[in-house]
Amino acid sequence: MLPALFRHRPVPAVAVLVCDIAGALCALAMPLALGLTIDRLLGGGAVPWAWIAVCAALVVAETASDAAVTVLGGVHSARLTTRLRELALDRLLRTEPRRAAEFSPGDLTTRLTATATAAAGAPVAAAGALCAVLLPVGGLIGVAVTDFWTALAFLLGVPPLVLLLRAFTRDTGAVTADYQRTQAVVATRLAEAVDGAATVRAAGSARQEHARITAPLGELAAHGRRTWRVHGRAVGLSSVLLPVLTALVLGVAGLRLAAGALTVGELVTVSRYAALAMGIGAVTGALGALARSRAAGERLGPVLALPEPGHRGAVLPPGGHGTLTVTGVDVTRGGRALLRNVTLRVPGGSSMAVVGLSGSGKSVLAAVAGRLCDPDAGSVALDGVALRDVAPDRVRREVSYAFAAPVLFGATVADAIAFGADPPDAGAVRAAAEAAEADGFVRLLPEGYDTPVERAPLSGGERQRLGLARAFARPGRLLILDDATSGLDTATERRVQRALDRHDGRCTRLVVAHRASTAARADRVVWLADGTVRGIGRHEQLWRDPAYRAVFRGAEAPPSAEPRRDTVGEHGARP
């Protein structure tokens, strides 16, 4: 994940790294320049202005590098956060809905907010960690080059330092991942409660729900305490180790000065290098930041890896009326077959009702028919072209959906109807609303079509009609209604059905139906049972079968009570 994060915005990430390294090199050059300057000053000759200038330049360059890292790093992390969120959002919206649904809303909220921010800090944290390691290593080399015996004294302290760093990095990564996971659980439960607020209220379970949401807080607090313990242990151990090591190094260096093996300047140099080599505080902080960013990156990774539906750039033949061919389709989820060897053909411009008991696979078939998901076996073709070969954007232009519980997007009611690529004009929006029997109640809203959606008090049936209007407003060659009229009263549904019939001959309709009346109006019916096709035919033919009648849960009215529309077959719709 870390190299991938560097790839997203390579230039600023490299600039941060360069500034970080430049700052570290200045810091490493400083002890040497300082020692040489002191020796020249103590040497009694002319004031070494050149060396004093070098020291001043190094101080300025180091400060400038630090400032550049702060500014560039901040800007880079902010931009990368935006980029990661855009990418994750893009993946979520483009992938098959069922794959996106594997993440709960609360979990996604944390992944796209705090987790994305933490992950975006990874390149800067990695650059910081590299320099944080560079300084102690450079410092150690500086000590070794200046005086071998002082370096040897320092090396005594290296093994415990390395062990301390390793344990700190490992523990920080683990505790951060646990913290983020628990945070996501709380967010998920909160989102569920907000979503199901009416159910919670109706069930009088607010107290239990409160307890359920806040239950992981204890665990969260424990993870938080673990974080501080890990940090505290590292800081505590290093605060004992470092002074001991400093005393040891300075003691040996002092002895070497007394023995005449070191000059005063070299003593200053070696003590400054030793101080750099002991910069464990910076290393632990930098490694901690890197471990947290990496843990966040690991959590964001699965969202960024969501697969996008592929295609081969095929184009639907112009002027087609949407002949839908489903051939040998299987859909399997979690080892369970939801559709098995489903084969059917809906001639262009005709309608087919999909009926079956609850859970028989009607919605799965509706999803496969318009490529909301791909089948695991078999194929779905529109006007002879396999849908999986056509670019998703083109499929969306040709296939419209209406659902049982539509979500209304857009600022106003008109926007909600026009929602989608290539939005229709106001006239088309109004015509679609009329066809969906929505125009009447929309006009009664405080600002009519311009009423903000959140201020439009809508019943379930009215919401459904706006969803239908959205589908009617952009008629492609295939219109799929997945239980989209279930909330309408019989009279309204019949009027909507009549409007639907006006698409006859122009576009194909696949209508998931629970009512016998809806099935009766369709040119043909596909009857699903347990994910397989139990029968295909006209409603009145299938009605003779008691098992078919049982699908309508006692709606035993004979087919003649729900007359088929009189346009059937006029456009060659019936095979």
Contact residues: ligand ATP, CB under 6 A: 98, 333-334, 338, 356, 358-364, 483
| Strand partners of residue 412 | 452
Tell me the pairing of strands 478-482 and 399-403.
Answer: parallel
**Shortest distance, CB of residue 356 to ligand ATP, whole angstroms?**
5
Distance CA(313)–CA(315), nearest Å, equals 6
Closest CB to ligand ATP among residues 31, 487: 487
* Continuous segment of H or E residues that includes residue 342: strand 336-346
Distance CA(108)–CA(101), nearest Å, equals 10
The two tokens of residue 517 are: 């009346």
Q: Give the largest Cα separation in the chain, rounded.
A: 119
Contact between 294 and 88 under an 8 Å Cβ cutoff? The reply is no
Closest CB to ligand ATP among residues 204, 334: 334
**Shortest distance, CB of residue 336 to ligand ATP, whole angstroms?**
6
Closest CB to ligand ATP among residues 205, 532: 532
List CB contacts of 209: < 8 A, sequence separation 6 or more.
193, 200
Position 203, amino acid: A
| Strand partners of residue 403 | 482
Distance CA(357)–CA(552), nearest Å, equals 8
**Shortest distance, CB of residue 364 to ligand ATP, whole angstroms?**
4
Contact between 546 and 554 under an 8 Å Cβ cutoff? The reply is no
Output the CA angle 484-490-492, nearest 5 degrees.
70
Closest CB to ligand ATP among residues 97, 569: 97
**Shortest distance, CB of residue 100 to ligand ATP, whole angstroms?**
11
Contact between 349 and 571 under an 8 Å Cβ cutoff? The reply is yes
Distance CA(135)–CA(32), nearest Å, equals 14
Closest CB to ligand ATP among residues 101, 155: 101
Closest CB to ligand ATP among residues 58, 338: 338
| Strand partners of residue 339 | 331
**Shortest distance, CB of residue 481 to ligand ATP, whole angstroms?**
12
3-state helix, strand and coil shares in percent for the chain, rounded to the nearest 5: 65, 10, 25
**Shortest distance, CB of residue 339 to ligand ATP, whole angstroms?**
8
Closest CB to ligand ATP among residues 136, 361: 361
**Shortest distance, CB of residue 358 to ligand ATP, whole angstroms?**
3
Closest CB to ligand ATP among residues 98, 225: 98
Closest CB to ligand ATP among residues 98, 574: 98
The two tokens of residue 262 are: 């070191």
Closest CB to ligand ATP among residues 99, 394: 99
The two tokens of residue 67 are: 């400032």
**Shortest distance, CB of residue 213 to ligand ATP, whole angstroms?**
26
- What secondary structure, in 3-state letters, does 137-186 show? HHHHHHHHHHCHHHHHHHHCCHHHHHHHHHHHHHHHHHHHHHHHHHHHHH
**Shortest distance, CB of residue 366 to ligand ATP, whole angstroms?**
8
Cα–Cα distances in angstroms (integers) from residue 297 to residues 99, 104, 223, 260, 308, in the given order: 19, 18, 19, 54, 20
Contact between 127 and 16 under an 8 Å Cβ cutoff? The reply is yes
| Strand partners of residue 351 | 509
**Shortest distance, CB of residue 332 to ligand ATP, whole angstroms?**
9
Closest CB to ligand ATP among residues 291, 342: 342
Distance CA(132)–CA(555), nearest Å, equals 76
| Strand partners of residue 528 | 356, 533
Closest CB to ligand ATP among residues 29, 372: 372
**Shortest distance, CB of residue 418 to ligand ATP, whole angstroms?**
28
**Shortest distance, CB of residue 102 to ligand ATP, whole angstroms?**
9
Closest CB to ligand ATP among residues 551, 568: 551
Contact between 33 and 58 under an 8 Å Cβ cutoff? The reply is yes
CB-CB neighbours of 248 under 10 Å? 16
**Shortest distance, CB of residue 71 to ligand ATP, whole angstroms?**
47
What phi, psi does 316 have (nearest 5°)? -75, 140
